[in-house]
Structure 1
Amino acid sequence: MLNKENTVIGFIGIGVMGKSMAGHLLAAGFPLVIYTRTEEKAVDLIDKGAKWMDTPRGVAEKANVIFTIVGYPHDVEEVYFGENGLIANGKKGSYLIDMTTSAPQLAIKIFDEAKKNGIHSIDAPVSGGDIGAKTAKLSIMVGGEKEAFEEVKPLLELLGSNIVYQGKAGSGQHTKMCNQIAIATNMIGVTEAIIYAEKAGLDPETVLKSISTGAAGSWSLSNLAPRMLNQDFEPGFYIKHFIKDMKIALEEAEHMDMDAPGLTLAKSLYDQLAKNGEENSGTQALYKYFKN
């Protein structure tokens, strides 16, 4: 059983969400070893006792449970593979938990290669954005071997409030694709509703009081619509990362011979926003597309 006496946690990816997530693990009393491309990004955690390493290899050599949440599939590849990667340098019996939203096939590849080295691998992408990360109420979707999931579940419970085992390796990533597909078209509806309210001469904040708790209710309506109204377009989740997710989902849908017209439309709108210089804004900046 993993506990504070026999567990050193590694964390790679100290971004909008990762910084809060790593902080929860550190606050729970676990020794924490971290890697970021620039040490400055990790100063707050270092000041609280985390140890910084200059390569993923350094983390793999120190930790026996390693969380990763980086930007893109190619970043995942870089962290996990190669002579300085986690798989080549990980301890036998250790656990690798990738919380990046990435390609299901890459999750399966990591699982297979890790297993050859006697390492457990879990794909565990998350939903909930910066708010969920800060409040430790993320939804965590898990793929991999059930026994490995049960072993690390107490650690996942430090990060999320809705943790569901979905099945074999890659299942967590496939579930996250379902999540992103549902969000993509919902964001169009949320934004159009706000614009409609404004054009109808209504007070959008008052409108939200009526519709956010009814059948139209959603996380995006409750959490992102108020940001739109406050002209707050700071990223809880980057547009550039959402486009990446939608691209993966569309590729997987094509492999399954599935049409996804709603997802295709949503991606086209966000692609246009990115071309307009909004790729580093939060997904709620879709408001600007309809407003302009």
Structure 2
Amino acid sequence: MLTADNTVIGFIGIGVMGKSMAGHLLAAGFPVMVYSRTKEKAAGIIEKGALWAESPRAVAEKANVVITMVGYPNDVEEVYLGENGLIPNGIPGSYYIDMTTSSPSLAEKIYNEAKKRDIYAIDAPVSGGDIGARDGKLSIMIGGDYDAFEAVHPLLKLLGTNIVYQGQAGAGQHTKMCNQIAIASNMIGVCEAIIYAEKAGLDPETVLKSITAGAAGSWSLSNLAPRMLKGDFEPGFYIKHFIKDMKIALDEAERMDMEVPGLALAKSMYDKLASLGEENSGTQALYKYWKK
């Protein structure tokens, strides 16, 4: 059993969500080592007692559980498989948990390379954004060996409330693609509903009181529509990262010979926003598509 007495947790990627997630582990009494490309991003968590590591290799040499929450699949590959990465320098028997949204095929590759070194690799992408990370209420989708999932489950419970084992390596990432496909079209609907309310001369906030509680209700409608109305486009989840996720899903769908017209439309709209300089805004900035 993994406890604070026999576990050193490494956390790589102290961004919008990672800083809260690492904070929950630290608050639970676990020793936590952190690494981020920009040390300044980790200043707050270091002040709370986390130790700074100079590289993924430094994390791998001391931590027997490592959680990663980075940006893109190429970042994941570098962190795990690079010469100074986790797997080439890891401790046998360690558990590596990638919570980045990445490609299923890369998750399988990491799993296979880790297995050669007696390391347990799990793909565990999340949903819930900055609010879910802050409140420790993320949805976590698990791929990998079930025994490894059971071993790290107590740690995952510090980060999320809906933790579901989906199957073998890559299954967590495939499930996250389902999540992103559902969100992509839903975000178009949320924005169109708000714009329609405004053009009809209604009070959008009053409209939300009715439609969030009915059949149209969704997480995005309840949590992101109010941000749109306040003009708050700060990222709980970056547009640039959502575009990355949609591209992965489109590539996987093409590989499976599946049409995804809603997803394709959403990506084209977000691509336009990114070209106008909104790539670092939150996904709720899709509202601006109608304002440009």
Return the TM-score normalized by structure 1.
0.99
Partner of 1:71: 71
CA-CA distance at 1:291 after TM superposition: 2.3
2:174 aligned partner, one-letter code: H
Partner of 1:119: 119
Aligned partners of 1:127 and 1:139 also within 8 Å: yes
2:281 aligned partner, one-letter code: S
Deviation string 1:53-93 (CA, Å, 9 cap, x unpaired) is 11100000110000000000000011001221100111000
2:192 and 2:17 mapped to 1: Cα distance? Answer: 27
Partner of 1:269: 269
1:131 and 1:10 mapped to 2: Cα distance? Answer: 22
Partner of 1:241: 241
Partner of 2:132: 132
Matched, 1:258 2:239: no
1:114 aligned partner, one-letter code: A
Deviation string 1:201-247 (CA, Å, 9 cap, x unpaired) is 10000000000011000000000000000000000000000000000
CA-CA distance at 1:41 after TM superposition: 1.2
Helix, strand or coil at the partner of 1:257: coil
Aligned partners of 1:107 and 1:169 also within 8 Å: yes
1:246 and 1:45 mapped to 2: Cα distance? Answer: 31
1:228 aligned partner, one-letter code: M
- 5 Å-filtered alignment, 1:1-292, equals 1-292=1-292
Unpaired runs of 5+ residues, structure 2, are: none
Aligned partners of 1:61 and 1:90 also within 8 Å: yes
1:284 and 1:83 mapped to 2: Cα distance? Answer: 38
CA-CA distance at 1:49 after TM superposition: 1.0
CA-CA distance at 1:37 after TM superposition: 1.3
1:81 and 1:5 mapped to 2: Cα distance? Answer: 29
1:224 and 1:235 mapped to 2: Cα distance? Answer: 11
1:38 and 1:123 mapped to 2: Cα distance? Answer: 24
1:194 aligned partner, one-letter code: I
1:186 and 1:45 mapped to 2: Cα distance? Answer: 34
Helix, strand or coil at the partner of 2:253: helix
Q: Which deviates further from its counterpart, 154-163 or 34-43?
A: 34-43
What root-mean-square deviation, in Å, do the aligned CA atoms of Structure 1 and Structure 2 show? 0.5
1:214 and 1:13 mapped to 2: Cα distance? Answer: 38
CA-CA distance at 1:48 after TM superposition: 1.1
Return the TM-score normalized by structure 2.
0.99
Unpaired runs of 5+ residues, structure 1, are: none
1:63 and 1:154 mapped to 2: Cα distance? Answer: 17
2:138 and 2:213 mapped to 1: Cα distance? Answer: 20
Task: Detail structure 1 runs of 4+ shifted over 4 Å in the superposition.
Answer: none
1:171 aligned partner, one-letter code: A
1:45 aligned partner, one-letter code: I
Aligned partners of 1:37 and 1:54 also within 8 Å: no
Aligned partners of 1:143 and 1:170 also within 8 Å: yes
In percent, how many aligned pairs have the same letter?
78
CA-CA distance at 1:38 after TM superposition: 2.2
